[in-house]
Structure formats: structure tokens, C-alpha cells
Structure 1
């Protein structure tokens, strides 16, 4: 669970006493060093202490280090070292990350993330050999963002693996990777990635500042970080994209966005992101443009159906019978003849049942969840009609709205579409079509006021950006689509071309 910053409940003297252990020097005595180390970390069961000789001791936490590197490189090297001193050991170890520290707390923090501490009797410095090795699952297909045509590899929980996947897609020397550590207790490492010359510098600086200003105790997932650094945490609409697809993440970086990869999370963050982009899928780029355009228009139509179809039914039966076509009046009256509830109660009850079935199917094991969803929907729907609780026509409408909500490619935005139906139904039950228009205006005003990393949330609709319409509601042929960013790729390419021409002219002269 996420916990915020600690409250100051201690006085100044107690705070000073708590800060003193952070600067404790390394005890030269081997016995004193081990005693102080065990006291500080409370003698955990996975603490391993090995005596290489009478003067050299190594300590590490089991399961956090690479045992092969320890046995094949560190231990044989330590046995061969004659003039034992921290500097000699550091120069003798053939490992990429080796360092010297003079503070006990700094050495402990390194050990907690997978380092071996090498202590030499009579010296007040520690050799830090970073050979961390974390257990992680292998690469697999993304579960929440499936597609038929395209890559079938998704991120996992190892940040090193995720960054390597990104670099396999983007072999560009301008791909920048900046490392941060967040959380006083968890010390979660994360990387901010962007392509220099394509991403806007103001967006990169904003991400840096918001991450640096975080003062929290723990960070366990990228979804928590996304809510902490977005523009408006109160809004239910997501302003940053969470994706588990490396191809979609790299496509965002190439479009000028800033990416964040969090260690321990299989979801990466892309920002800024507009409202329209949440309904676009990476598979749209892999399909022919007429098919991709049709599917996109179908998704946007599904949004309106999912949010407003049931409220229109409630408003029409409650206040506006005149808008119902004459041939439908008889079937509607016969279907609702034995229903004892008003349309608003009938609609809310069915919507709640659909949400209960959906939530139960998502939380149960896969095979059981599918069975519960199918059987529960059929049994409850049939029983509700036979018992006179609801009408056949409303069940068809509710089922259509539920199917429409599933067309949203992004899970977070799909949840928003599901929740929005309930207040709109309530407004339609009290004020009819006027309530629906009030809900629509409120939603549009809210969206127009939102921003994502300072960028307009409703772009390219508002402010109008006609060049971006080629890949918004429709997807034009790829040769007609130009990537747009604050620092345009076209300008960047022309500048590099001019520089190369200038160099050639100098060589010719």
C-alpha cells in the first residue's frame, strides 16, 4: 500500500540523533564492523558472512547477488591478493561496478540492492562489488494489450530487461536514459527515457522536477507514480498512458513523448498523452489504412453508445415518449407491463449486476471466471425477465453498452467509460434529455480544462492542430502521416543534412 511522507512528531534533538547513524564511519576492526552491521540491519536470516582470510571478510544478502560471479571472479581474486588493502582489491577485481565507500550506511544501502561488502582489517573503507541478480519471470505476450498483427512480447518486472527491449527497438545514440531513486523505504529505481532532439525539453524538465520533488516512503508500481506526478490527480481521466508493450512505448518515444520505466513493474509510463490517443491501438499502424480507420471510428462510436444509450432509454421512457417511434411503443409497453420499478431503478440495477459479473470474472481464475461470466449473465438475465424485474429491451441495451465499453484499448480509460454511465443515468432519470445535455457539457468542459504534462488534453481538437488530424479519428496512409513534436523531426533531419553538406564542402576545398 502507498504511504505518504512521514509526519514530524519528534523534536529537533531526536531528529539530529536519527541523522547521526547515516554518517557512521567504517569501523577498522573486523569484529566491530560485523557487530555494527548486524545491529543496523537487525541480523536478518539471509545475511551471509564469509572469512576469506584473517584480515578479509565479505558480507552480502543471499538471493540478491549473482552466485556465479561471486564464485568465479570475486573469491579467486581475493585469495590471490597479497598486499591486502581496499584500493588494491578494487584494482584487482575485474567487475564493471566496483567502488570504495567510507560510510557504513552507504555500504548497507548498496548491500540491500545486491552488492558484496569487502572489509579489510585495519582499514576504514569498504569495497563495494555490485553483482546484483534479481529473480524475474521470462518474457511473455502482453495480457492486457493483446493484438493479432505485430509484436507479441511484453515488459516484465525487471528494469534492466525492459530497457534492453527498448534499445533493441531504438538503436539511436540520442536515446537518453536518466536514473532516479524514489521512496525512502523501498528505494525504487526508475529510468526516464526520451530521444534528444525529438522530445520537448520542457516536458523532460517537468518530468525531472516532479520526480525529484517526490517525498514519499515507498513506491511499488508505475501506476502509483503516474498518479503522483500527473497534472490533476483528482480527475478520473488518466493523463498518462500505462503500457506493457515495448513497441507502443518505443512508438511514443519516436513521437516525442517522455517514457518512465519503474523497477518491479511491468507497466511503463508515456507522457504527455491526449484523450484521443487513449483510443488508438498500436495495431492500427499494422493494418491497412481503410480497415484501421473503420475500427477507430467504431471505437469512438462505441464511447457514445456506452455512455449515453442507456440514459437515452431512461429519459425517453420517463419524460419523452414522443421521441419513441410508433412501431416501438407497443413492444415497449408490453415489455414493461409487469415491471414494478421506474426506468431509472431498472437501469441502475441491471448496470450494477453487469459490473458485479465483470468484477467477479476478473478476480476469479481464468477458466472459472469465464464460466461465471457466461452462465451468470444468461441465468440472471433470463430470471430477471421472467420475474418481471426488468424488460427484454433494456437487457439488450445494457448488453450493447457493456460490449461497447470493451472496445476501448486502454484499461484505465475503459474503467472511466464504465463509471460515467451511472451519473448520466441518474441525471437522465431526474431531468430527461436536459440532464443528459448537462452531463455531456460537464464532461466536455472538464476534458477541455485538463492537461497532460502541460500539453492540451483534447489536442488536436482543441486547440485545433490540423496536421495531427491525419492520425487521430482516422488513420490516413502512412506516407501521408508525419510525426509531429515540439522540435520537429523534419527540422532536426534538415539541420543534420546541412551539417553533413558543410563538412563535405570543407573536405572538397
Structure 2
């Protein structure tokens, strides 16, 4: 009778068991699996079984460090003898069937002496991983260029090297029923807010899913409002941005087989921050943050505003500009609403095509396609050259966001605003923006208001979001993150000027 995975571990103990019965049990649970190696050996009248999946273990280590000492052993085989004599430090025992079946899938090697009450497992897994590379979606000019990889061990190693502190906690949690996946809850014990840590831990433990494909997918399961358009948990592939957030009191997540980490709580403004701001002088960093904020606002309203002006509100335009717009639209057969939606849709097609094509081809497609199609559309009288300029500037502004998720959200918001502006003019545009603001005011991330520190108003935290201060003046962590320890260092000591003879 075939045995299945069960959740009651007390009923999973199958030992002691005969070697032949154990082999049949494994064949029943792994049918049609030719890569399952099950070897039997005899020694001093005892039978022993060694089994594993061939492509998931390092065969050289199995033969040199496990089989060779095992077969050359002079003393009788016992569980304790093997643990003491075989030179593999990862050996430990278990009595549960679930541990055996799941361990095989994780690349472990099992050794069982017939009729013993325990089975030994060794971690000799062969994990394929790519080398450290530059970040693709979050490119930097200054600062570390290394990005996370799909190997959780590699990612944890990077985190440990960047935060060499005993205060760092790397809590392990298993998520997924059919395909368990390791998730690490990461935070600074003396800094992170306990409510945020407990909330994140509870949401992970309460997940009732078969599998988690990636950290971005996990964030959609555990965010405060899963039906919301805006991202509520920050996702990053940059270890420096991840560790910077952890040291400021936030909570992080790393997922096995995922090349990005999750940071929470996140606000709307944290998606517009970049660690590159820290590597510049504070004046330049503040200027770049201001540029991103203005670009986000500009990207949202410029195309809807153009549609509203051309459709209903000619009077707000200077006469010379009005004449230029009238001349460019003289041969366009479509109303401004349809014209704007058509060009915005064309821009999205070019962007998506450029992202899906190979890198060199995609860059060529984006540049050449935009120029050729835009010029051809103007000459054919399908659209005006003014609208081409407006849509292009709007698209460029949306690309200034360091977060790919927020940039996509901004581009998506433009479409309903364009529609409202084409139907109701400025009244529709203002109505849409008001609905958007009300929606953002109701959002939270791990209980933190999404518009903090703007709402609720906290002027002392403005330097953490809208601009930067010199490092010797930035001695406190953001209040809206609710850290245990809000003071980073003594401001009085930081301002003291010391000469070499002091």
C-alpha cells in the first residue's frame, strides 16, 4: 500500500524497518524516478542502505567522504558509530517519514542500518547557482553594484558581510504545503519594531498555499490590501538598499530561489528613494529626490491635462502656443481623448516589446520604433506632434522611479485620468486626483500609513523622505518606522571637530 505525506509526525515513524520494505516505500513515493539511487551493502552480518537523488548531491563527496569510510570501517555498524566515524559534520538522525521524503528532495543523503530505530541524514547537496552580477532593474552609478542571486545561502552571506552584528536576526520560516520553500525573516533585534516583526511572522505562518514562486509573489499574499494597485511592500535586488532599510528599523524577507528581497513597512515615498542618494553630497541627493517627486506628479497629470485643455479649456493656453497646437491638429481626424489613448497605448507596446526582446534588439526596437512610428504617425495625420512630445515626456518621467513596480503603477493610473479628462475636462481630472489621494490616505503597510510622514504630518521626518541632511546632522531614525531605538548616534559628539593632536 502506497504511503503518502502526512502532517501528523507522531504517526510518521516507520523505523525499525527491513531494507527491502524501505526500498519499496521509496519507490511508491517516487514512482518512475530513475535518478533515485538506492544502494545496499553488507558488513559483519548487517545490511545497510544508502539512498539519494543522483543529480542533487555532490557524487565525489558521497564516494570519498561517506562511502569509502563506511565500507572500510572495521567495527560493527551502528547509528552512533557512523555518526562518530564518518567525516561529515552535517550528520544527524531522524525517525520521521516526512523528514526522509522532504530531505531527498533537498539533496540530502540518507544512510539506514537495517532494524535500527533511527536513520542518518547528511547534507551533501549540489546546489546550482549563478555568480554575483550587476543589478538589472535597479542600476546605480555610484555605490556597490552587486545584486542578489537565486541562492538563499549566497544572499544570506552577503547580508552577513554587510551587517556584521550579533544583533542581526535571520529567522527561518517554511512557507508552502506541497512545495515547502525557505523564507528568512530578517531584522535588527534592538531596532526593529516588535509589532512589525510579529505581524510579518504571523502572516507568513498563516499562509495556506501550495507554493511560493518568488518574493514578489509572496509580497502580494502578505500585504495589507491584496486588491490594491499600489505596491505596499518594497522589493529590491540591491543588497545595500536591503541592509540600509534593515538598519533603519524595517523588516526584511529573503525567499529561496528568488533574486530579490522584500522590505516593510514601505511608504509611497520610499519607492522613490535610492541608495545612490547617500553616496552623493547631501545637496545633490536632495535635488535628485526632488526631481523624482516632481517627475512622478508630472507623469500622472501631463497627458490628462493636455487632453482636458485641448478638449474644453483653450483659454488657459497662451495665444502663440494655441496657434501652434491648432496647426498641428488641423489634419488629425480623431478627438483628443482617442488620440491620447492611442499614443499612450503605442508607447506601452514599445516598452513591453523592448522588455521582452533580447537586450541589444530591445534597445534598438525602443529607440528606432519610437522615432519611426512617431514621425510616421504625425506625417500621416493620425496624431499631432505636440501630443507626441507630451506623451514622450510623460513616459520619460515615469521611468525615473527607482522601483519598477511603482513606475508600472504610475503608467497604469494615467489611462483612467485621461478618460476622465476627455469626458469632464479639468473637473474630471481633479475628481480623479481626489479619488487617488483618498485611496492613498486609506492605504497602510504593516499598519504604517502609506503617505507617512506627509500624513499623519511629521515635519521632523521630512529629511528622511523629501530631502537629505549632512550625515553629522542625521542622527535619528525615521519616527514613522516606529523603531525601538530612534537615536543612531550622539549629535553633540558628531559635531565636534577634532584635530590630530587632540
Partner of 1:486: 482
Contact 1:231 1:451 in 2 (8 A): yes
Q: Distance in 2 between matches of 1:136 and 1:211?
A: 26
Q: 1:303 aligns with which of 287, 296, 299?
A: 296
Tell which deviates more after alignment, 226-235 or 373-382: 373-382
Q: Please list the CA deviations of residues 293-342 of structure 1 after superposition, one character each: whole Å capped at 9, or x if unmatched.
A: 11111111111111100111100111111111111111111111111111
Contact 1:197 1:492 in 2 (8 A): no
Q: 1:398 aligns with which of 391, 396, 402?
A: 391
Shift of 1:469: 0.9
2:117 aligned with 1:159, yes or no? Answer: no
Contact 1:52 1:78 in 2 (8 A): no
Q: Please list the CA deviations of residues 364-422 of structure 1 after superposition, one character each: whole Å capped at 9, or x if unmatched.
A: 11111111111211111111111111001010101100111110000000000110100
Question: After the TM superposition, which residues 153-232 of structure 1 pair with which residues of structure 2 at under 5 Å, given as runs?
Answer: 153-232=146-225
2:69 aligned with 1:77, yes or no? Answer: yes
Partner of 1:66: 58
TM-score normalised by L of structure 1: 0.91
Partner of 1:353: 346
Shift of 1:183: 1.0
Partner of 2:29: 40
Partner of 2:19: 30
Q: Distance in 1 between matches of 2:139 and 2:488?
A: 34
Q: Please list the CA deviations of residues 85-123 of structure 1 after superposition, one character each: whole Å capped at 9, or x if unmatched.
A: 223212333433322222333211111111111011222
Which sections of structure 2, spanning at least 5 residues, go unmatched?
A: 491-502
Change (3 A) 1:396 1:20: closer
Change (3 A) 1:300 1:60: same
Q: Please list the CA deviations of residues 65-101 of structure 1 after superposition, one character each: whole Å capped at 9, or x if unmatched.
A: 2334323322233124422122321233343332222
Partner of 1:465: 458
TM-score normalised by L of structure 2: 0.92
Partner of 1:443: 436
Q: Distance in 2 between matches of 1:20 and 1:441?
A: 53
Q: Distance in 1 between matches of 2:103 and 2:132?
A: 28
**SS class of match (2:346):** helix
Q: Please list the CA deviations of residues 228-262 of structure 1 after superposition, one character each: whole Å capped at 9, or x if unmatched.
A: 00101111100111111111100010000111000
Q: Distance in 2 between matches of 1:398 and 1:53?
A: 77
Q: 2:249 aligns with which of 256, 267, 272?
A: 256
2:293 aligned with 1:286, yes or no? Answer: no
Q: Please list the CA deviations of residues 264-298 of structure 1 after superposition, one character each: whole Å capped at 9, or x if unmatched.
A: 00011011111111101010000111111111111
- RMSD in angstroms over aligned alpha carbons? 1.9
Q: Distance in 2 between matches of 1:254 and 1:114?
A: 34
Contact 2:420 2:428 in 1 (8 A): yes
Q: Distance in 2 between matches of 1:103 and 1:385?
A: 71
Report runs of 4+ in structure 1 exceeding 6 Å deviation. 15-22
Contact 1:63 1:134 in 2 (8 A): no
Question: After the TM superposition, which residues 376-391 of structure 1 pair with which residues of structure 2 at under 5 Å, given as runs?
Answer: 376-391=369-384
